[in-house]
């Protein structure tokens, strides 16, 4: 008989490892949707990293609780008449979390680094409006040629290739955050390690245990530190939405970013005050393959599919998570933009169905020649439900859907290769501007899965890019979207909603269309 | 004995080499790459990324580079978790997985063996039926069903235990994941122990022991238990593999920072180096565990000797 002593001592050892967790006065505990790929703003491309990185750093421009753009590191700015030169006046008291002064040079340094091909930053293209940026990122020009210049320690001049009305919005994005040149010079790639990482936001990094927790505490050098209420934040990366919900219910986290859709009804009934669902800057759509040889390259087929889709049924009866049926690509609530809608949206369901039948017959499909379509989606319960619903809705028209699912990486590779007729896609806006959505349909852009192409649309988008007046620019883009919708260039299904669980003892949380919530605005009710 | 160990370790090298080579190329055959996601990157940015991770080189060249680095103990950078090397990630995650898995194995043995013995001794009584019925339930219900139910019941409804999180390995945080991970193994071990105990109790040497007038306690403890445990011992190899794969699910459900979840996430993200790192690490671990189990055999069965 072997001794069980080692086992007993193993258990004793384990129980002796009990660690008391520090309980600071005002600690916010947030379940974020996954492990950050990095805390280096240049290496990040996901949504949940924004929660952490956006608390640690601050750009020239930043967001208030309602995500209105407000001055960040820059106190004020001047824009030249041609809209191509921006002069930012930085706060005199701007400091890093180690007390070092933050200067215009830090911005020059970090934007050059972002665009340096060796940095291999996913989101470098967001700063392409800056003169020379694209050429640098392609390795065709030296980083010194970037149109960014420190006039003095507190004045930064930025020159753009052409006027870019959404440029200020982009500056609040994490790609445009300043990085501490003095720290990067000292530690190189290791600057991001805990103990080295220095930031300029309302909070500073204390500890990062991979896949476990990230701890940040209030940055006393932050320019608005007096108005930051929280002492500490702990972010828990939790991929499993049900686990996040359970931990919220167990009182272990104060905020859960995103909850499982299947639980929405239960949450509405049992935790109505904690459950936050709000319109979100995103569109869920089906890419329709316009490449030659695909039935969906025929505009009549695309129109028929669009007309025969009961979007209200998908949102209200199938998904039931408060999503808003969509007849356009640009969601409602975007700055200066008037919602466009596809032709046929105001017809009754029966009228639409009848018209769809006519269109398909016209295109040569009917009882003797059924329309067979390949529909692909990335593996997910909700996507499957939507696809099955579409198959059922289109069945009466004699359409047979061949449903094919694959994991995300494979699905998008198939989409890029044009290996589909109907393909599930979604787009979350990088910034609050219609251009960010409509550019998905410009000829030849990487994310134009369906290879939609229309010269008039492209021309209008070019025209919008050169229009300085925001209202006029919005009108041009409205016309562009109108063209695309009349072409039935895609099959929009619904506008996304954000889904958060927020404890009722928190103040300062505001639902907003970008679903950005900086912790500096949050306080804990005593 | 030592030369046997040396021989076994030498034999492990080609095994590991095959595992590494096969996983390296299988991983690359899988469609989709590490930078394919919901939004496609502009071509120049993708080119920058491919160059940064040497993915623009021909595959045989990448393989040689990987093997060269591996020989120096360098698993390479993770493609997804960019602030950490794969070595960092494994070093941070392994103690967690080890504690979790070690405790689960310990619990499985501590409960499984007595349950099996008890059932064998009380064969075909209510006790037996109850124990084996429970065990059957433990085998039938997978841990990804049990774990969330336990979290819901003990964590959310009763509030006795934390719903998830590691908290530095605090005991309350360990209870649910360890139990969830152990349940299936407890059940297997109990059933196995029962069967082999019954077989041993019917054998000649037990009859002899009883004939010598030994009391039942002595018969069981001194003569029956050790040979009856042999099948359980040989099951430890698969049990450890089971615990490792089980921890992939359990770590995800309870949000524990072990390496199990890297396996799944790494594969889904096409994080080639992270998947390779965990494969190599687990490969070595399983080879070592099997060797240890084989060595333990000689302790339990005098007929087994590892002579030179």
For A369, which DSSP code? B
pLDDT in tens, A305-350: 999 999 999 999 998 888 999 999 999 888 789 999 999 999 999 9
Nearest to A407 among B35, B38, B268 (CB): B268
Q: Which residue has the higher pLDDT, A300 or A13?
A: A300
Nearest to B31 among A19, A410, A427 (CB): A410
H or E element that contains A277: strand A275-288
Question: In whole angstroms, how far apart are CA B8 and each of A71, B22, B293, B294?
Answer: 67, 21, 13, 10
Q: Which residues of chain B lie closer than 8 angstroms to A240, CB-CB? A: 252-253, 255
pLDDT at residue A206, rounded to an integer:
95
Nearest to B156 among A249, A406, A409 (CB): A249
Residue A17 has pLDDT above 60, yes or no: no
Flag if A37 and B81 touch (Cβ within 8 Å): yes
Q: A11: nearest CA in chain B?
A: B103
Flag if A413 and B32 touch (Cβ within 8 Å): yes
Average pLDDT, chain A: 90
Residue A24 has pLDDT above 70, yes or no: no
Nearest CA-CA distance, residue B298 and chain A, Å: 12
> Tokens 């809209």 correspond to what residue?
A83
Nearest C-alpha neighbor of B143 from the set B245, B267, B286: B245
The two tokens of residue B272 are 């080639």
Q: A407: nearest CA in chain B?
A: B268
Nearest CA-CA distance, residue B110 and chain A, Å: 8
Would you place residue B307 in the very low, low, confident or very high pLDDT band (cuts 50, 70, 90)?
low
pLDDT at residue A20, rounded to an integer:
36
Flag if A118 and B48 touch (Cβ within 8 Å): yes
Pick the range with the lowest mean pLDDT from A4-13, A82-91, B220-229: A4-13
Neighbours of A294 (CB within 10 A): 19
The total number of residues shown for chain A amounts to 526
Nearest CA-CA distance, residue B269 and chain A, Å: 7
> DSSP assignment of A429-449, as one string?
-SSS-HHHHHGGGSTT-TT-T
Q: B223: nearest CA in chain A?
A: A1
Flag if A1 and B226 touch (Cβ within 8 Å): yes
Neighbours of A120 (CB within 10 A): 22
Would you place residue A15 in the very low, low, confident or very high pLDDT band (cuts 50, 70, 90)?
very low
> DSSP assignment of B122-154, as one string?
TTTSHHHHHHHHHHHHHHHS-HHHHHHHHIIII
Q: Which residues of chain B lie closer than 8 angstroms to A249, CB-CB? A: 156, 163
For B157, which DSSP code? I
Nearest CA-CA distance, residue B136 and chain A, Å: 26
Flag if B32 and A242 touch (Cβ within 8 Å): no
pLDDT in tens, B129-178: 999 998 888 888 888 888 989 988 898 888 888 888 887 878 888 999 99
- Cα distance between residue B107 and residue A10, in whole Å: 11
Burial class for B291, CB neighbours closer than 10 Å (0-12, 13-18, 19+): middle
Pick the range with the lowest mean pLDDT from A9-23, A324-338, A451-465, B152-166: A9-23
Please report the ipTM that was assigned to this predicted complex: 0.76
Q: How many CB pairs under 8 A join A and B?
A: 185
Q: B156: nearest CA in chain A?
A: A250
pLDDT at residue B76, rounded to an integer:
87
pLDDT in tens, B244-302: 777 888 888 888 888 888 888 888 888 889 999 988 888 888 888 888 888 887 777 77
Percent of chain B at pLDDT > 90 equals: 21
Percent of chain A at pLDDT > 90 equals: 74
Q: Which residues of chain A lie closer than 8 angstroms to B36, CB-CB? A: 408-409, 412-413, 416
The region, left, alpha or beta by phi > 0 then psi within -120 to 50, assigned to residue B141 is beta
Flag if A412 and B32 touch (Cβ within 8 Å): yes
- Do β-strands A422-428 and A371-378 pair in parallel, antiparallel, or remain unpaired? parallel
Q: B38: nearest CA in chain A?
A: A412
Looking at chain B, the number of H-run helices and the number of E-run strands are 13, 0
Residue A386 has pLDDT above 80, yes or no: yes
Flag if B171 and A138 touch (Cβ within 8 Å): no
pLDDT at residue A338, rounded to an integer:
93
Q: B148: nearest CA in chain A?
A: A243
- Cα distance between residue A225 and residue A198, in whole Å: 16
Q: Which residues of chain B lie closer than 8 angstroms to A414, CB-CB? A: 31
Nearest C-alpha neighbor of A340 from the set A216, A410, A441: A441
pLDDT in tens, A185-237: 999 888 988 889 999 999 999 998 888 899 999 999 999 999 999 999 999 99
pLDDT at residue A19, rounded to an integer:
36
Would you place residue A285 in the very low, low, confident or very high pLDDT band (cuts 50, 70, 90)?
very high
Average pLDDT, chain B: 86
Flag if B156 and A37 touch (Cβ within 8 Å): no
Average pLDDT over residues A273-286: 94
Nearest CA-CA distance, residue B228 and chain A, Å: 11
pTM attached to this predicted model: 0.83
Would you place residue A10 in the very low, low, confident or very high pLDDT band (cuts 50, 70, 90)?
very low
Using only C-alpha atoms, chain A has a radius of gyration, in whole angstroms, of 25
> DSSP assignment of A74-126, as one string?
EEEEEE-TTS-EEEEEE-TT-B-TTSPBP-HHHHHHHHHHHHSGGG--TTGGG
Question: In whole angstroms, how far apart are CA A46 and each of A276, A516, B168?
Answer: 21, 13, 27
pLDDT in tens, A129-183: 999 999 999 999 999 999 999 999 999 999 999 888 889 988 999 999 999 999 9
Nearest to A446 among B42, B89, B168 (CB): B42
For B11, which DSSP code? H
Pick the range with the lowest mean pLDDT from A138-142, A491-495, B101-105, B220-224: B220-224
Flag if A137 and B48 touch (Cβ within 8 Å): yes
pLDDT in tens, B3-62: 888 888 888 889 889 999 999 999 888 877 887 776 777 788 888 888 888 888 899 999
Q: A40: nearest CA in chain B?
A: B83
Residue B306 has pLDDT above 80, yes or no: no
Flag if B88 and A416 touch (Cβ within 8 Å): no
Would you place residue A4 in the very low, low, confident or very high pLDDT band (cuts 50, 70, 90)?
very low
Q: Which residues of chain B lie closer than 8 angstroms to A11, CB-CB? A: 103, 106
Nearest C-alpha neighbor of A261 from the set A242, A279, A278: A242
Neighbours of B289 (CB within 10 A): 16
Which residues have C-beta within 8 Å of that of residue B123, sequence separation ≥ 6? Answer: B198
Flag if B110 and A4 touch (Cβ within 8 Å): yes
Average pLDDT over residues A513-518: 94
- Cα distance between residue A171 and residue A275, in whole Å: 31
Nearest CA-CA distance, residue A408 and chain B, Å: 7
Q: A426: nearest CA in chain B?
A: B38
Nearest CA-CA distance, residue A500 and chain B, Å: 19
Flag if B165 and A236 touch (Cβ within 8 Å): yes
Quick check: A430 and A436 in contact, CB under 8 A? yes
Flag if A210 and B257 touch (Cβ within 8 Å): yes
Nearest CA-CA distance, residue A410 and chain B, Å: 5
In a mutational test of the A interface, the residue from B33, B34, B55, B82 whose CB has the highest number of chain A CBs within 10 Å is B82
Nearest C-alpha neighbor of A271 from the set A497, A496, A498, A504: A504
What is B86-300's CATH superfamily?
Answer: MetI-like (1.10.3720.10)
Nearest CA-CA distance, residue A389 and chain B, Å: 23
Q: Which residues of chain B lie closer than 8 angstroms to A215, CB-CB? A: none
pLDDT at residue B31, rounded to an integer:
79
């Amino acid at each position: 008989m072997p001794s069980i002593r080692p086992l007993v001592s193993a258990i004793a050892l384990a129980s002796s490892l009990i660690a008391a967790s520090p309980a600071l006065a005002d600690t916010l505990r947030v379940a974020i949707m996954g492990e950050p790929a990095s805390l280096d703003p240049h290496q990040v491309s996901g949504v949940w990293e924004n929660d952490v990185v956006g608390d640690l750093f601050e750009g020239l421009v930043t967001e208030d609780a309602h995500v209105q753009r407000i001055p960040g590191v820059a106190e004020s700015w001047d824009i030249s008449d041609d809209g191509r030169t921006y002069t930012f006046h930085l706060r005199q008291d701007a400091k890093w979390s180690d007390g070092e002064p933050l200067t215009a040079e830090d911005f020059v340094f970090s934007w050059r680094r972002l665009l340096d091909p060796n940095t291999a930053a996913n989101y470098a293209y967001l700063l392409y409006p800056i003169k020379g940026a694209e050429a640098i990122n392609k390795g065709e020009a030296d980083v010194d040629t970037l149109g960014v210049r420190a006039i003095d320690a507190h004045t930064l001049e930025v020159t753009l290739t052409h006027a870019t009305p959404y440029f200020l919005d982009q500056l609040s994005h994490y790609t445009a955050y300043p990085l501490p040149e003095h720290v990067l010079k000292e530690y190189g790639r290791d600057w991001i390690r805990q103990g080295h990482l220095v930031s300029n936001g309302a909070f500073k990094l204390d500890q990062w245990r991979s896949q476990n927790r990230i701890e940040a505490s209030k940055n006393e050098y932050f320019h608005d530190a007096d108005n930051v209420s929280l002492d500490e934040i702990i972010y828990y990366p939790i991929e499993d939405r049900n686990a996040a919900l359970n931990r919220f219910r167990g009182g272990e986290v104060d905020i859960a970013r995103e909850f499982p859709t299947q639980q929405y009804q239960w949450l509405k009934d049992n935790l109505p005050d904690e459950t936050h669902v709000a319109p979100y800057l995103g569109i869920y759509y089906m890419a329709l393959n316009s490449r030659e040889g695909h039935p969906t390259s025929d505009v009549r087929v695309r129109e028929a599919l669009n007309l025969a889709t009961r979007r209200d049924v998908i949102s209200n009866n199938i998904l039931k998570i408060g999503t808003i049926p969509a007849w356009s690509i640009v969601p409602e609530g975007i700055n200066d933009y008037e919602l466009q809608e596809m032709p046929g949206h105001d017809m009754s369901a029966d009228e639409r169905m009848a018209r769809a039948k006519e269109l398909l017959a016209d295109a040569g499909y009917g009882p003797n020649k059924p329309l067979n379509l390949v529909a692909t989606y990335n593996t997910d319960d909700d996507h499957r439900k939507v696809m099955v619903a579409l198959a059922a809705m289109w069945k009466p028209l004699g359409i047979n859907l061949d449903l094919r699912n694959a994991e995300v990486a494979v699905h998008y590779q198939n989409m890029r290769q044009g290996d589909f007729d109907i393909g599930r896609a979604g787009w979350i806006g990088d910034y609050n501007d219609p251009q960010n959505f409509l550019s998905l349909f410009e000829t030849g852009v990487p994310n134009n899965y369906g290879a939609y192409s229309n010269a008039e649309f492209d021309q209008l988008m070019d025209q919008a890019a050169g229009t300085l007046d925001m209202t006029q620019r919005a009108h041009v883009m409205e016309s562009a979207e109108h063209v695309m919708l009349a072409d039935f260039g895609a099959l929009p299904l619904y506008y996304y909603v954000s889904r958060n669980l927020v404890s009722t003892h928190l103040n300062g949380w505001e639902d907003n269309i970008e679903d950005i919530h900086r912790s500096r605005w949050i306080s804990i009710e005593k | 004995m030592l030369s046997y160990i040396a021989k076994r370790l030498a034999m492990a090298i080609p095994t590991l080499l095959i595992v590494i080579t096969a996983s390296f190329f299988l991983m690359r055959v899988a469609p989709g790459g590490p930078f394919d996601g919901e939004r496609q990157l502009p071509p120049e940015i993708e080119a920058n990324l491919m160059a940064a991770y040497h993915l623009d080189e021909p595959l045989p060249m990448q393989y040689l580079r990987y093997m060269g680095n591996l020989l120096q103990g360098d698993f390479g950078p993770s493609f997804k978790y960019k602030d950490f090397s794969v070595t960092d990630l494994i070093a941070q995650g392994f103690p967690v997985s080890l504690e979790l898995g070690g405790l689960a194995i310990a619990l499985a043995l501590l409960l499984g063996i007595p349950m099996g013995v008890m059932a064998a001794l009380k064969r075909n009584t209510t006790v037996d039926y109850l124990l084996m019925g429970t065990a059957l339930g433990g085998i039938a219900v997978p841990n990804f069903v049990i774990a969330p139910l336990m979290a819901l019941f003990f964590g959310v409804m009763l509030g006795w235990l934390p719903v998830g999180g590691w908290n530095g390995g605090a005991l309350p945080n360990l209870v649910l994941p360890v139990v969830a991970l152990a349940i299936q193994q407890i059940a297997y071990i109990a059933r196995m122990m029962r069967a082999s105990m019954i077989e041993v109790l019917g054998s000649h040497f037990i009859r002899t022991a009883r004939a010598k007038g030994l009391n039942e306690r002595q018969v069981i403890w001194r003569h029956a238990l050790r040979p009856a445990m042999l099948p359980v011992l040989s099951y430890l190899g698969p049990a450890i593999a089971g615990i490792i794969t089980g921890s992939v699910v359990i770590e995800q459900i309870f949000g524990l920072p072990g390496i199990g979840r890297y396996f799944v996430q790494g594969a889904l993200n096409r994080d080639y180096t992270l998947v390779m790192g965990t494969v190599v690490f687990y490969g070595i671990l399983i080879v070592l565990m099997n060797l240890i189990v084989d060595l333990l055999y000689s302790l339990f069965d005098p007929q087994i000797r590892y002579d030179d």
